[in-house]
Structure 1
Amino acid sequence: MNLMLKKILMIFIISLSNIVFGFAQNVQISLLTCDPGDQIYSVFGHSAIRVLDQETGEDLVYNYGTFDFDAPFFVVKFTQRTLDYMLSVTTYDRFLYEYQYFQRGVREQVLNLNDKQKEDVVKFLKINALPENRLYRYDFFYDNCATRVRDLFEEVLGKQLVWNDPKEPQEQTFRDLIDECIHPLPWYDLGIDLALGSVIDAKASEREKQFLPVYMEAAFARAQIEGDGPTRALAQASQPVLQFPQEESSASLFNPFIVMWLVAIIFMVVTFLGYKRRRLYVGFDVALFGVLGLLGLLIFVLWFLTFHSQTKWNWNILWAFPMHLVLVFALLKKEVLPWLKRYLMFALIMADAAVVFWILGWQSFHPSLIPILLVVILRTNFLYYNVEVFKRQRTNSIIS
């Protein structure tokens, strides 16, 4: 009886093995790399995995870059980094339809996996796609649609996967890498530099660069599989799936550099006229420090009240300080509050410190902020030494 059970079990195992490896022989697994779009959520490109069963025609794309717009408190969760991303599964045709519609190129790298490795990849993806497993806590640099793909193949291939990083890699910070993608969108570039702190000025290793899909694509092209026969390339040459003419970006006059310098020129003229006419024109300061105070409040929230690691240690707060809203309150008062001059000196020192932090390389600020820093230094200095004029004007309208 025991012998009979063993024979039945052996037949079952052999049959199951034939089914599995027969399936694997007909499966093609590919890395899909998608070109950047012109929106902030798509400007960094995208990575996904294609699984094609050439026998049945089933053609699926596994996508780690999706999230639920209808999730409760979506905006709050997105801001706090408590919004979960998910692994979604769609058909290849439906996946391409979106990129066709938005005119974004797609390239494919077919992977040179053996049958067992294909089986393991498909099993990994199917388990990950289960409702109880598909959600994950997104992190822009360390856990996103590209790094999830990399981690999958590192898990499946283990030590057989050799990345073959360049011997003399280009030294780049995380901010440099972001700038490569965001450069055509100058206002988004400014917003990112304002929101993210000094932690992104650290040098990125070759592995860390793979958070960007284009670097993931390059890493897959260099990588090799060793230890299961002759050493072979992980991926075949990248082939275009969708191609579109590259649009030439035209420079707009409405960009941060021109706007900020126009603001600086206005404040320089106002300060010059105020000096000549013995007037303060604090209405301009109310607008300036009101905007900077609100910006500082946002920086404070991102630093201390969210779970984003990239928004910590943001020294933009030295010049865009939340307490500038208190300065606005003081400037709107008819009488001069006793602490006003002390605060003006404090704000001046803080702005000077921001310049020092920039020069020493402790944080790289957006270049368009140079004129704003000059304005903060100019106006705090001017108000500090001319506050007695303000006293004489307290019975008049404060905002000219």
Structure 2
Amino acid sequence: MAWKKLFWLVWAVAGGFNYAGLAQSLSSEATISLLTYSPGSQLYTAFGHSALRVQDPVNSLGGTPLDRVYNYGTFDFDESGFYFKFMRGKLNYKLSAYDFYYVELEQQQRQMDVREQVFDLTLAQKQAMFDFLNVNLLPENRFYLYDFFYDNCATRIRDAFEVVLQDTLRLDTSLVAVESRKTFRQLVDEYMAPQPWGDLGIDLALGARIDQPASPYEYMFLPDYLAQSFEGSTLLRGGQEIPLIRQDELIMTGRPTKNSTSPNVVPREANPRTDVPRWATPHWTFIALFAVFLLWTIITRKQKPVQWPDAIFFSLIGLLGILLLLLWLATDHQTTKENWNLLWAHPLHLLTVFLLVRKQLGIGAKLYFLLNGFFYLGLIPASDVLPQEYHPAVIPLIVLIAFRYFYKYYEVNLVQ
């Protein structure tokens, strides 16, 4: 990461020439703190949020005491081609600055917890951080190419402190023992458990690259872990190490839920409550889908074959395969590459649809159905040794795919 710190430092110095005329000096009473928001119910708020707060009761901004929040996690839904840019990995996020009053309004709306950790910085360090943030806020600097795992609202704050404080910062990376390290996917799963369909979508879209154990440094892409790291970090001052955080409290409290952020952040436990009834989760939905196909097969087994249910089913799986292939080959996202879900959800299922609508099927189609049945049946135990962890809900889908291919082979035999 040394190159990244160097880039930020050069960028800040260069931007400082433009910022020089706008500089504002902080007083000795100024404070800088980290705000950690608890996870919300929307997908984009499911992992919580991090922002920096700068307060100065002596200096004013627009006639009121300075109380400003710097937020690296803002984006514009109304941006032209928003969803297309997001899918391609070309969506810009930006640093925004606004009055703390708007955090209070958001808290009232979302009923979130907000934890504040005040840093024990010297006046010179506060000023350097304040200047760094304002340089980043310049129109030519505020935008950056967002990466959920490696460059987001939390990692930007971590990187800013490393650049500004340099060798005086002793960042705590003892968040987790080496033998207990989780993969990126497992970390995401902990937060997505209340949203099982969103969790399924993420697991389908992201490939094997997030199945590597994350280092404690990399854990800090999640706001909770950034807060936990800062809690244990120290500053070198006068030849001694002092805590980076001098005050830590929960300044706003939302609804009392199991997953609320506490003053001493403990990362979310595995398998927290879900906001979706159990019967409506992907796992049970796909089991029910298998049961429907099985019942329909039993009822119609002596009737003339009807192909449209299978045609719809394999069309949807084939279209999913096209999407996963595009995410791998046609985007800048690094974490959507090497996606082993393409073993079962691939575009070749559309060939199956083509065969199903044909009136006459030969020995080639018969062999195609049989081999596919065995392939997907074998994929179920093989999924345990793949370099990518499958979402548990896809196992019933793979079983259903194998079942339908075997039954199509059986139907061809009946017709012949």
Query: Which TM-score tier does this pair reach, normalised by the shorter chain?
Result: 0.7 to 0.9
Letter in 1 for 2:70: Y
- Equivalent position SS for 1:52: strand
Who is 2:177 aligned against? 168
TM superposition shift of 1:49? 0.4
Match of 1:95 among 96, 100, 103: 103
Relative distance call for 1:232 and 1:58 in structure 2 (3 A) is same
* Equivalent position SS for 1:37: coil
Question: Aligned residue for 1:47?
Answer: 50
Q: Deviations over 1:156-214 (max 9, x none)?
A: 11122112322725320101100111001111111111111111111001011100000
Q: Give the residue type in structure 1 aligned to 2:93.
A: Y
Task: Pick closer, same or farther for the CA change 1:231–1:261 going to 2, 3 Å.
Answer: same
Paired residues of 1:32 and 1:50 also in contact (CA < 8 A): yes
Q: Is the 8 A contact 1:99 1:105 kept in 2?
A: yes
SS at match of 2:245: coil
What is the aligned partner in structure 2 of residue 232 from structure 1? 242
Moved more, 241-250 or 305-314: 241-250
Residues 247-262 of structure 1: matches in 2 within 5 Å? 247=257, 249=274, 252=277, 253-262=279-288
SS of structure 2 residue aligned to 1:25:
coil
Q: Map Cα deviations across residues 214-262 of structure 1 (whole Å, 9 max, x no partner).
A: 0101001011112544311111342112102334755512111221111
Scaled by the length of structure 2, what TM-score is found? Answer: 0.84
SS of equivalent to 1:89: strand
Q: Is the 1:37–1:102 Cα contact (8 Å) retained in structure 2?
A: yes
* Contact 1:61-1:92 at 8 Å conserved across structures: yes
Conserved in 2, the CA contact under 8 Å of 1:24 and 1:116?
Answer: no
Match of 2:150 in 1: 142
Task: Choose the corresponding residue for 2:208, options 172, 191, 198.
Answer: 198
Query: Deviation digits for residues 288-325 of structure 1, max 9, x if unmatched?
Result: 11111111111111111111111111111111111212
Partner of 1:187: 197
Q: Distance in 2 between matches of 1:193 and 1:229?
A: 47
Distance (Å, rounded) in 2 between the aligned partners of 1:257 and 1:140: 26
The structural deviation recorded for 1:362 is 1.5
1:155 equivalenced with 2:163 (yes/no): yes
Unaligned runs of 5+ in 2: 1-22, 60-64, 258-272
Range 238-247 or range 304-313, more displaced: 238-247
Distance 1:390 1:55, change over 3 A: farther
Aligned counterpart, 2:317: 292
1:116-137 CA-partner distances (Å, limit 9, x unpaired): 2111101110100000000000
Aligned pair partner of 1:371 in 377, 396, 403: 396
Equivalent residue number for residue 34 of structure 1:
37
CA change 1:71–1:293 in 2 (3 A) is same
1:388 aligns with 2:388: no
Partner of 1:367, secondary structure, is coil
C-alpha displacement of 1:99: 2.3
SS for the counterpart of 2:44 is: coil
Partner Cα separation in structure 1 for residue 133 and residue 25 of structure 2 = 19
Name 1:359's counterpart in structure 2.
384
Question: Identity of counterpart residues, as a percentage?
Answer: 39
Q: Distance in 2 between matches of 1:168 and 1:358?
A: 27
Aligned equivalents of 1:114 and 1:288: distance in 2? Answer: 63
Distance 1:131 1:312 in 2: 32
One-letter code aligned to 2:55:
L
1:318 counterpart = 2:326: no
What is the SS of the residue equivalent to 1:226? strand
TM-score, structure 1 as length reference: 0.87
Structure 1 counterpart of 2:294: 268
Moved more, 116-125 or 331-340: 331-340
Q: Is the 8 A contact 2:25 2:127 kept in 1?
A: no
Alpha carbons 1:173, 1:202 under 8 Å: kept: yes
Counterparts of 2:329 and 2:231 in 1: how far apart (Å)? 40
Q: Which residue of 1 aligns with 2:129?
A: 121
Aligned to 1:69: 77
* Deviation for aligned residue 1:284: 2.5
Offset at 1:278?
6.9
Aligned length: 371
The one-letter code matched in structure 2 to 1:366 is: H
- In structure 2, C-alpha distance between the alignment counterparts of 1:332 and 1:203, rounded to whole Å: 46
Q: What is the distance in 2 between the residues matched to 1:339 and 1:237?
A: 72
Contact preservation (8 Å) 1:48, 1:62 = yes
Contact 2:117 2:245 in 1 (8 A): yes
